[in-house]
Structures are given as C-alpha cells and as structure tokens.
Structure 1
Amino acid sequence: MTALFHDFTAWLARPQMLRPSGLRAPGAGLALLRMLGLHLTVLLLVLLPLLGMWQKAMGLPSPEAFDTVSKAMLVPFVVLLAPVAEELAFRGWLTGRVRAVWLVGCGVVAAGFLAMVNFHVYEVPASFGVLGMGLVAPAGWWWLRGRGVVPGFARAFPVLVWLSIAIFALSHLSNYPRFSVALLPMVLPQFWAGLTLSYTRMRIGIIGAMLVHAAANGISIGLVLLSG
C-alpha cells in the first residue's frame, strides 16, 4: 500500500503517459482494491464529514441530480451508467490515441448541438447536427483504427490530465439547483475521484477505472440508502 501511494503521489506531481498494465497483469486486482480503499478512506473519513459541516454552516442546498430518477433506476444509473459514461468521456482518451481523441471531439460537438436544442437556438439544424454526429463519430472511429498517438499529446499530457480532472469536478456543480462560489468546495469529492481514477486509468486501464468508479459509487449510494 505504501509503495502504491508513493507511486500515485509521484505521478500526480509529474503526470505522464503510461502503458496500462491491464486487468490480467500480476497484482492488478490487488492494486485496484488498494486504490478503491484509498479513494473511499479519504472520501468517507475526510472529505464528506468536512463538507457536511461546510454545507450546514453556509446553508447550501443539497444536490438534486437524482431527484428525477426513480428509485428503481437510481442504483443502475449511479453504479453502471454513470461510471462507464464518465470514464469514457473524461479519461478514455488519456492514452492519446487518434480515434479516442476523435470520439471525445465528436462528443463535445454533439453536446454543443444538444445545448442548442435545449435552449431553443436553431433547434432543427442542431437536431440534424446531433444525428449527424451519431453517424460521423463511429465512422471516423473505424476509419482511424490502427492510428497512433496524436502528435504532441505526450508533451501536453500534464496540462490535459489536470484539465480533465478540473472539468470533471466542476461539471458536478450542475447537480445543484443554483450556483454560488460557496458551492465550489462541494465538488472536492469529484476532484479527488478525478485524481484517483486518472491514475488508475493510466496505471491499469479504462476498465480498471470503471470498476473502481462503480464500486465507489455503489458503496457510497448504499450507505446513503441505509442511512435513509
């Protein structure tokens, strides 16, 4: 555990591209369990208690992201859908492969079109744009198979990984009904998750990051449901 923690902190100090070992590598399963343990220890024993006091002291609202999700769908959404979608969007492309970066770019464009539809800005063209990206994205992914890493990606990697962590955390501000500067500390759990999951993704692989993400979400939502 000590060796893993030192490797984790050294990687955070100087983020660099790694060749993921994969789940079948010796010790990969134990490393996943240790990363999950580290993630949950800091989350449950440090961050959540402190943020609970901050929320109460500042009179901040509770997140409302799951208020529209039925209880029957809550666990599948939090434990399955969210970890897979978020890992692909925020960390799936960290290997720098051309087609992975292509898919992320297509996702950003599609999200822009969806925002236009949501805010009723050129809704019809934007709707066709979403449909078009749904066709262009997989076609480009197939055409770009076998391509290597995007030129210059390794040099830009430290900035890109920290940017992905920051955006991942800040995106969770949308869980709250209104924004205020006082809410920024409330996404520290997601910032911490971004740190642990980015390292797991680069050290073991995207499936490993999904597994840690899903397990952490499952344990957290389980504790919430048990406590009422």
Structure 2
Amino acid sequence: MDAITTSGESAVTPAMTMRGEWSRFLGFLRRPVLPTRAPLPQVAGLIAVLRLFALDLLVMSGLLAIAGIVIATGVDMPETALAGMDIGPGIVFAVVVVAPLAEEIAFRGWLSGRPGHLLALVALVGGGLSATLLLSAAGFSYGADALETGLAAMALGTLGGALLALVALYLLRRREAMRWFQRCFPLFFWASTLAFSLVHLFNFPADQMATALPLVLPQLVTGTMLGYLRVHYGLWASIMLHALHNGAFISLVLLASSGA
C-alpha cells in the first residue's frame, strides 16, 4: 500500500523500494496532487530524501555529460558567479545551509496550502520589510556608517518578521490544506518550480541571461523533486535534499578548482 495517495490524504506506509519511490515521484509529476498535510519527520521521510538524492545525482550526471559534449564542440558557456571566486568556509556555509533554508521557505514553504504556512510567509516578508522601514524612519542608528546601520535594521526587521511568522504558525497549526489551493495545486507547483529555476539566472551576468537559460535546467529538475518531498514528507525533507544537492555541487567545484 502506498504512503501517498491521490485523494488528497497522507498515509504512513513508505514506498518499499527506491524504484517505487521514483515511480511515485514520476506519477506525481504527471498529476500533481496535494495531500491534506505532510506527516511529522520520520525515518520514511529520510529514506525518501536519500532515494531522491540518488535520482538527483543520476540526472545531474547525465546533464553534466551533455554539457561536457557541448563544451567539447567549442561552444562557450556563460560562467556562474562562483567562477574564479575564492571559495572559503563562509561561501560553503551560505551555499549548503543558508541558501537551502531561505529558498525552501520562499519557494516551497507555502506549497502545503495550509493557512498557517501562507500567512507565516506573508508575516515573515511583510513584517520584516515593515519593521526595517519603521526602524529607518525612526532614525535608528548602529555602528560606524550607514551600511552597518542598514544591515542592523534588516537583521532586526527579519527577526521581527520571524516572530510574527511563528505566531501565525502556532495559531493556525491545526488548519489543513485549503480546498481551493488543492484544486489549483498543479498551477502553484509548476509556478513555484519555474520561479525557483529562473531566479538562478541571476547567478550569471545580466547580458548572458538569455544564453544561460539552458543552464538552469538542473534547478528545474531538482525543483520538481524538492516540491514532491515538501508536500509529501515536509519542508525539512526538501531542505535536506536541497542541502545535499548544493553540497554535491560545491564539492565538485572545489574538486575541479583544486585540480586546475
């Protein structure tokens, strides 16, 4: 019996095999259906993350092979923002920890369709921006210059937005996915996935974004896996796969730079 049905409900039995999980994922892509709510973190979710990570590595290997063939034919590929950059612990932390957390909250935290998650995102962004603007208007000052003051105001604003988001999550914690959101879920799923992939175009120079479109295909593919994990196993699962994916990518970059 499958853990995830197409009736908008969440069951508890995990897929028995890796192939079963992959088949379930492909079935979800053919007909995206939003469960009522994802279960609490459990071993089945961790197993699903590792199974999707294996699929992610397989697909990325294929895409890298295609890219290698294209480069071998003499085609110039746009360079990412990491090209030529000295990658230290700070950048690794940002890529492997900060980016997965921030991007999953922004692009998939609300995909559950639950009122608390939608309101929490609005509170986090809206409350954070409002608090930052209020601090600036009130003449808030910190540090030696305007940059330090601005960063401090943003940090305090983000903290205020996060507190509002936590309140929203707590007050609406028992509310299930909204019916209208479930009906429109395929649209939300694909819009979220497309937006996630397109935002990575900003990793390339502005005058090369058009030619860089094929280079965000990996983010489009990975985004579908992240969306699947988010709605079926929880936001923690999509964050974990995102971190694993970015960790594999940054490891490859470090390996290539060390051998250069």
How many angstroms apart in 2 are the aligned matches of 1:67 and 1:151? 49
Contact in 1 for aligned 2:71/2:77 (Cα 8 Å): yes
1:171 Cα shift? 0.1
How many angstroms apart in 2 are the aligned matches of 1:165 and 1:187? 11
Normalised TM-score (structure 1): 0.80
Matched, 1:199 2:223: no
1:65 Cα shift? 5.1
- Larger relative CO (CA 8 A, sep 6+): 1 or 2? 1
Amino acid at match of 2:172: G
How many angstroms apart in 1 are the aligned matches of 2:256 and 2:82? 19
How many angstroms apart in 2 are the aligned matches of 1:162 and 1:223? 28
Matched, 1:224 2:246: no
Which position in structure 2 is the counterpart of 1:20? 38
Helix, strand or coil for the counterpart of 2:211?
A: helix
Query: What is the percent sequence identity of the aligned residues?
Result: 33
1:87 Cα shift? 1.0
Normalised TM-score (structure 2): 0.71
Unaligned runs of 5+ in 2: 1-17, 138-149
Matched, 1:139 2:164: yes
Amino acid at match of 1:139: L
Amino acid at match of 1:63: T
Q: 1:106 to 1:184 in 2, by over 3 A?
A: farther
Which position in structure 2 is the counterpart of 1:3? 20
CA RMSD of aligned residues (A): 3.0
Contact in 1 for aligned 2:107/2:192 (Cα 8 Å): yes
Q: 1:176 to 1:97 in 2, by over 3 A?
A: same
Contact in 1 for aligned 2:189/2:227 (Cα 8 Å): yes
Q: 1:70 to 1:223 in 2, by over 3 A?
A: closer
* Runs ≥4 residues deviating over 6 A: 66-69, 110-113, 129-134
Helix, strand or coil for the counterpart of 1:181?
A: coil
Post-superposition Cα deviations, 1:155-204, rounded to whole Å, max 9, x if no partner, equal 11110010000000000000001234221110001001101111111221
Q: 1:132 to 1:212 in 2, by over 3 A?
A: closer
Amino acid at match of 1:5: W
Unaligned runs of 5+ in 1: 118-123
Which position in structure 2 is the counterpart of 1:75? 92
